[in-house]
Structure 1
Amino acid sequence: MKMLFFLCLLLAGINSKSYCYDPNYQGMRNQNQRGQDNRNMPWQSVRNSVCQFACCFYKEISSQEKNGNVFFSPLSISTAFAMLTLGARSDTLTQILRVLSFNPREISENEIHEGYRQLMEMVNRKNTGLQLKMGNVLFVLDRLKPQEKFLNDLRNFYEGEAYPMNFKNAVQAQQKINQYVAERTNGKIKDLVNNLDPLTEILLISYIYFNAEWEKPFDPKYTKMAKFFVDGNKAVEVPMMFGMGLFKHGYDEQLSSTVVQMDYKGGASAFFILPDRGRMRKLEKRLSCERMSRWRTLVTKSSVNLYLPKFTLYGTYDLKETLYKMGIMDLFTDKADLSGITGKPQHRISQAIHKAVIKVDETGTEAAAATGMEIVPMSVPVTINFNRPFLIAITLESNILFMGKIVNPLKKD
């Protein structure tokens, strides 16, 4: 089975309530101060915060998309906004860090940026059988001169690049930006930017590209049309894949859900979470990093008849609205203080668009001949049928790359 993921986060137009987090957040402490109880490496602290952000962002998005598919990359969104903190000051900085789930008593700003640097190094490491590339680029109005410290930090911590751009010639600028994104996503995202505002001064893009094959691919000849129950009454006909053999699976009693882990070549894993009938809301309400971290020890290999639908999703979100509700408010108003970028505080983020794509099918051509025989215990196999809405989480070394919910496999948007 082959999975492709592509994501771009667009923060456009820097021109002239409910919290999932601790509302008593008091702002960042001294940069050189280190919490006495923080024994984790920076990347571990950042990984944990990305997970907390993933759960909170998912709950916010799913509350908006009550009957729709959900798919996003918490790692990419978190990284892009962490980049902004290099130039954010005062309340703007405080709000971003709070929503990204960083506790000022446990980690300093320098440790946060170092943690993201370590994570990006880990993600971008060359890995046989797995294509995964994450990066960041800053397009700046050619007459503006970003602060040298900001540019150095952008490069050193986030492997970021900065390019001068003439946004006044919006058509040409849009073409160059889209070409840049297309090249770095292997042509999968060709027209990210549309109707570029000629008044745009700074454009920040964070992208992630993932391409991997299952360790245990499905055989296409067993894929048949079958019913997928969108809700209790409505069903759609979907191409349903079938796999028979040893699969990692278990039952999470606290979430009333069956968990199936499928591994990719290269070390990444996908977790498919199927709630019992009528238990989706319970699953979403109780979803937490603690529960997700236990899935690896919860699942064990045994004989399974597994049914999983093929699907392609395009997740597109207005992050401005969502993150404003989550607590990042000043960034999108005249109160924004991004003086660490240009030396002047009167700039704000006017638009934030997140786009993610996932394609799931049986196998890539390279893996088609890789199926082999395996020894299966002489026992009655368990049947696990993903024929109703379920959750998906894609991880690499316990880092959450992607997260989503499939309500209707036929609905791409």
Structure 2
Amino acid sequence: MMCGVCFVLCGLCLLSTEAAGPNSHPGQGEVPLESNTLTRELSVPELDEYEYYAEPGDYEDEEDHPAEVGKGRLPAPRSWDSLRRRFRGKSRLQRLALLNTDFAFSFYRSLARSQPAADNLVFSPFGLSSLMAMVVAGAGNGTREQISRALGFNMFMASQPGGEEMLLHDIFHKLNHRLYKHHFGYRLKGSSGIYIRGGLEVRKTFEEGLRHYYGAQAQSVDFLDPQTVAKFNRLISKATKGKLQDVVEDIDPQTVMLIYQALHFKGSWEHKFIKSKTAMLHFYTGRSAVVKVPMMYVRATMLATTDHTHECDVISLPYSANASMLLVVPYRTFGLRHIERELSWEMVDNWLKDMTNRTREVYIPKFTLHGDYDLIETFEDLGVTDLFHNQADLSGICEERKLYVSSLKQHVALKVDEEGSEVAAVSLSGFMPLSSQAKFMADHPFLFLIFEHHTQSLLFMGRVMNPLNQ
């Protein structure tokens, strides 16, 4: 039975700066829209990720990489020595996951600023990182540099010229393979595709690279055909088991290419919440605002800690596999904003290290969240600007046309119930085990993070301000 499910659709549309003309081969060379699931396409042998461990080479001096810290922009590390320390003892998969987590928290802050303070949030940083890695495969010069800085790709193999990008895609390939395996207690499936307007000459290296590394099959379509939208929506509905439907209302007729990725996560709690114990209890959304929500209950041995520095309690709700949902509940009803500002990989790493295992009574609300975000402004806030305007350099995709990204969206649906989830630098002295508390109560706004622990990948994250609001 499921304990949680998350469904995600990430997509971007590319337009030509030239006037759009009719399709060169209407009705010819077009194939039906169909999904391409990575678990079916990738044929990678069983891997031990630690075979790919290697210390970074000779890192460049800090002066060669001046920090560019804007509103939500990801800051450069204080020194390449600090990056070396963060990477020490980690496989290359874990290093990439670490940088993806840095990006996730920076992106979360920027996204949160663009949304009403009382709104719930849910998104997939892993889905966005994978999608943007596909774009990097076709980007050049300044466009590639902006994306790489925002996502942390430039730090991944900081001073190894030549082969850097190939290594990035190769590690994404292995990371996808690891996460999409079938024999875990949770299930994560990905479906990626590229839809190209008939007659557009796409570089073979780009097309073959996305197919090899990301399982994204290129298909020729007619974006002027009204049936294209209906076919695309049916494809996404099928890929997300019907949880995301009619997510695309229309496609700009000038679109020449659409790249998408759909994710489906389904996990069962290791310790099932007792349905008969679910009761309507208070959830405090404000100083004097209270709503009654279905509050789930379980008594089980779980890992948790208290962070006195950031005034919050943290518990790890394990799935029946090597994954868990971390719940971060501030002491105060309005304490979430401070945690959001300070959230970092180091904070989470310290939480995980300081957790102790003991029997606890856990109360968390049932909730269902939907996120539908246009993300261009959020990426611009992180320093990715050229990609969405005429100065974009996507010459690695198509030599003949000047392309730019006109639309970048993510749609997410997350359900958490008694069975599980379904979804389409802090000093250690500031921590203490949650050993003196036998109860964990999430009865006011909290953060959640869904991690796969072997690769240390942050798959989904968000906040719950009011469980009754979807």
Q: Same fold (TM over 0.5)?
A: yes
Report deviation, 1:226.
1.0
Determine the C-alpha separation between the residues in 2 that align with 1:38 and 1:257.
27
Maintained 8 Å contact 1:131/1:211: yes
Maintained 8 Å contact 1:15/1:350: no
Report deviation, 1:191.
1.3
Name the structure 2 match of 1:181.
Answer: 236
- Asked whether 1:308 is paired with 2:358, we answer no
**Any stretches of 5+ residues in structure 1 without a counterpart?**
25-34, 365-378
Aligned with residue 21 of structure 1, among 67, 74, 79: 74
Aligned in 2, Cα 1:45/1:244: closer, same or farther, shift over 3 Å?
closer
Trace 1:160-199 onto structure 2 (pairs within 5 A): 160-169=216-225, 171-199=226-254
Determine the C-alpha separation between the residues in 1 that align with 2:336 and 2:104.
17
Maintained 8 Å contact 1:337/1:345: no
Report deviation, 1:187.
1.8
- Once the two structures are superposed, what CA deviation does each residue of 1:232-265 show, in whole Å capped at 9, x if it has no partner? 2211111111112322211122321100101111
Determine the C-alpha separation between the residues in 2 that align with 1:44 and 1:213.
24
Aligned in 2, Cα 1:167/1:228: closer, same or farther, shift over 3 Å?
same
- Asked whether 1:12 is paired with 2:13, we answer yes
- Once the two structures are superposed, what CA deviation does each residue of 1:189-241 show, in whole Å capped at 9, x if it has no partner? 12121122222110110111101110100011111111111112211111111
Name the structure 1 match of 2:131.
Answer: 80
Aligned with residue 281 of structure 1, among 337, 361, 375: 337
Trace 1:6-405 onto structure 2 (pairs within 5 A): 6-16=7-17, 17-22=70-75, 41-65=91-115, 66-104=117-155, 105-106=158-159, 108-169=164-225, 171-277=226-332, 278-344=334-400, 346-363=402-419, 382-397=438-453, 398-405=456-463
Determine the C-alpha separation between the residues in 2 that align with 1:73 and 1:173.
26
- Once the two structures are superposed, what CA deviation does each residue of 1:287-320 show, in whole Å capped at 9, x if it has no partner? 1001112222222122222110000000111111
Determine the C-alpha separation between the residues in 2 that align with 1:157 and 1:81.
13
Displaced runs of 4+ in structure 1, greater than 3 A? Answer: 37-42
Report deviation, 1:281.
2.1
Determine the C-alpha separation between the residues in 2 that align with 1:142 and 1:103.
34
Determine the C-alpha separation between the residues in 2 that align with 1:161 and 1:131.
22
- Asked whether 1:408 is paired with 2:466, we answer yes
Name the structure 2 match of 1:375.
Answer: none
Maintained 8 Å contact 1:338/1:345: no
Report deviation, 1:23.
7.2
Maintained 8 Å contact 1:305/1:383: yes
Aligned in 2, Cα 1:295/1:23: closer, same or farther, shift over 3 Å?
closer
Aligned partner letter, 1:77: L
Determine the C-alpha separation between the residues in 1 that align with 2:403 and 2:127.
23
Aligned partner letter, 1:262: L
Aligned partner letter, 1:71: V
Report deviation, 1:45.
2.5
Maintained 8 Å contact 2:72/2:107: no
Secondary structure at the residue paired with 1:127?
Answer: coil
Aligned partner letter, 1:157: Y
Compute the TM-score of the two structures, normalised by the length of structure 1.
0.89
Report deviation, 1:22.
4.1
Identity among equivalent pairs (%): 30
Secondary structure at the residue paired with 1:400?
Answer: strand
Compute the TM-score of the two structures, normalised by the length of structure 2.
0.78
Maintained 8 Å contact 1:230/1:407: yes
Secondary structure at the residue paired with 1:328?
Answer: coil
Report deviation, 1:106.
4.7
Secondary structure at the residue paired with 2:384?
Answer: coil
Report deviation, 1:41.
4.1
Maintained 8 Å contact 1:42/1:114: no
Determine the C-alpha separation between the residues in 2 that align with 1:380 and 1:333.
55
Maintained 8 Å contact 1:87/1:341: yes
**Any stretches of 5+ residues in structure 2 without a counterpart?**
18-69, 78-83, 421-434
Determine the C-alpha separation between the residues in 2 that align with 1:381 and 1:18.
38
Maintained 8 Å contact 2:16/2:401: no
Maintained 8 Å contact 1:134/1:207: yes
Aligned in 2, Cα 1:10/1:380: closer, same or farther, shift over 3 Å?
closer
Aligned in 2, Cα 1:283/1:345: closer, same or farther, shift over 3 Å?
same
Determine the C-alpha separation between the residues in 1 that align with 2:92 and 2:219.
29
Determine the C-alpha separation between the residues in 2 that align with 1:209 and 1:295.
27
Aligned partner letter, 2:134: M
Secondary structure at the residue paired with 1:58?
Answer: helix
Determine the C-alpha separation between the residues in 2 that align with 1:303 and 1:44.
30
Determine the C-alpha separation between the residues in 2 that align with 1:333 and 1:10.
17
Aligned partner letter, 1:231: G
Aligned in 2, Cα 1:97/1:168: closer, same or farther, shift over 3 Å?
same
Maintained 8 Å contact 2:452/2:459: yes
Report deviation, 1:44.
2.5
User: What is the RMSD of the two structures over their aligned residues, measured on CA atoms?
Assistant: 2.2
Which range is displaced more, 183-192 or 88-97? 183-192
Determine the C-alpha separation between the residues in 2 that align with 1:91 and 1:128.
40
